[in-house]
Amino acid sequence: MHIAIIGAGVSGLLSALELVEHGCTVSIFDQAQAGQAASWAGGGILSPMYPWRYAEAVNTLAQYGKTEYQRYNAKISAQTGIDFEIHDTGMLIFDEEDFAVGQAYKTRFQEPMQHCELLEGAQLHQVNARLSSQLQRAMYFPELSNIRNPKLLQSLIAYLTQHPRVNFYTEHQIIRFNLQQDRVNSIYDQDGTEFFADQFVIATGAWSAHWSTQLNLDIPVEPVQGQILLFKTPADWLPTMCMNQVMYLIPRQDGHVLCGSSVRHCGFDTQTDPVTQSHILKHCLAMVPELAQFPIVKRWAGLRPGSPDGVPYIGQMPEHRNLWANFGHYRNGLCMGPASAQLLRQLMLKHDPIVDATAYSTTRLQFHKTTAPSL
C-alpha cells in the first residue's frame, strides 16, 4: 500500500514511521523543510503540563509518550547516530491552587508518570537548590522527562530518508485534492504537479483548516503562537523542570534551559515581541533567579495547532474512504505523538487499536451548512 502523508512535523513523521515499519510505502510532503515548524519549536515535556486540566482523551494518548519514545530511540538512534536525549529530570509545579487536584488525579488514575508528592522547605530545596528562596512548596513529579525535540526530529528524518520505502518531497505545498465521489484520486502541489497514492493522510498541524473549503467541513484548527527564550548554563546546572502559572523551565543535558511559554492568537505570525519575551523572562527568573547570570542565546516563536479542547482528530475523514486525519493536538503534539501515530496506523491497516478511537473520531467535524439561493 502506498500512502501519501501531507505534513512532515512530528505527527506526519511518526505516522510515516509506524506505516513503513508495517510494510507500507510512504511519500511525505511538506510546504517547507521537514520538522521545522511547531514540532521543532516546542519544549518537549513528555506529559501535558497540568494533566488534570485536560480532557481524558488527551491524557490517554499522552501516557504512552515516554515509553514509546524510549522504544523508538533504541531502535533508530543506532542507525542514525542521533540520540533523542530523553532527559529524566522530574518536574516541580508551584501552582498551589493545583496541589489538591493534582494529588487527587494521581490517586484516581495511578499513572506511573503522574506520581507526585508534596515537598516543603528544605526538602524542596534539596531536590532543586537553584530555586528562589521565596518558593517553599511544590508538587514534585519525579518520573516526568523531556525530550530534545530537534534531536528527535533529526533522527526521525535521517531514518526515514534512508528507508527504501520512503520518499520525501520538501518545499512541496500540497494545495488541492483530486476528489472522485468518495475517494481522493491524487493531490496537486503549488506548481500543479500531480501525485498519486492509495491512501492519503492530513497531518498539517496549524495549517489544517486549509482543507475546510474543499472538503466542505468546518475544521476548527487555528495557529496559536507560543514564544520561548533559551539560556545557556553549564551542563546539568538546573536539576529539574519547573512550572508556575503555565510558565516553564526545561533543562537540557548540555546546559541549555528553555523558558516559556506564551499564548497569542495572531494568525501565522512567528515573530517574537519584546513585551511577551519580558513577561516570560520575569516569570522564569521568579522561579530561578540565578538564570539572570547566564546569556540568552536564542529566542523564537512556534505555531501550535489549536483545537477546541486539545483532543486531536485521528481517523478516516468523513465521506472519503481513503483520506485520513492526524491533526489538532494543540499543546501536546509531542507527548501524544507516538500513540496518535500508532492509532492512525491501526485504523488504516485494520489492526487492533491501542485505545478506544471514539474520542478522536473525525465525526466531530461539522459539514458546512448550505444556504438555498434567494429567489
* Residue 373, pLDDT score: 41
Element (H, E) at 250: strand 247-251
Name, in order, each residue with C-beta under 8 angstroms of 180's C-beta and a sequence gap of 6 or more: none
* Residue 368, pLDDT score: 75
Cell of 153: 526530529
CA nearest neighbour of 201 among 312, 306, 310, 307: 312
Instruction: For 176-199, give the DSSP string.
Output: EEEEETTEEEEEEETT--EEE-SE
Region of 85 please: left (phi>0), alpha (psi -120 to 50) or beta: left
Query: How many Å apart are CA 150 and CA 145, to the nearest integer?
Result: 16
Query: How many Å apart are CA 351 and CA 345, to the nearest integer?
Result: 8
* Residue 372, pLDDT score: 38
Query: How many Å apart are CA 342 and CA 355, to the nearest integer?
Result: 10
Task: Record the pTM.
Answer: 0.95
| Cross-strand partners of 174 | 189
Per-residue pLDDT of the chain (375 residues; tens, 9 = 90+): 999 999 999 999 999 999 999 999 999 999 988 877 788 888 999 999 999 999 999 999 999 999 999 999 999 999 999 999 999 999 999 999 999 999 999 998 888 889 999 999 999 999 999 999 999 999 999 999 999 999 999 999 999 999 999 999 999 999 999 999 899 999 999 999 999 999 999 999 999 999 999 999 999 999 999 999 999 999 999 999 999 999 999 999 999 999 998 999 999 999 999 999 999 999 999 999 999 999 999 999 999 999 999 999 999 999 999 999 999 999 999 999 999 999 999 999 999 999 999 999 999 999 876 543 433
Q: Where are the domains of the chain?
A: 2-48+150-221+308-367, 91-143+222-306
* Residue 38, pLDDT score: 81
Report the Cα 330 to chain-centroid distance in Å.
Answer: 7
Instruction: For 53-119, give the DSSP string.
Output: GS-HHHHHHHTTHHHHHHHHHHHHHHHH------B---EEE--GGGHHHHHHHHHHH--GGG--EEE
Domain spanning 91-143+222-306: CATH 3.40.190.10? no
Element (H, E) at 360: none
Pick the CATH number of 2-48+150-221+308-367 from 3.30.230.30, 3.30.830.10, 3.50.50.60, 3.30.1330.10: 3.50.50.60
Other Cβ atoms within 10 Å of 277 Cβ, number: 18
| Cross-strand partners of 231 | 257, 296
Strand, coil or helix: 345: helix
* Residue 371, pLDDT score: 41
* Residue 142, pLDDT score: 96
Element (H, E) at 39: helix 38-41
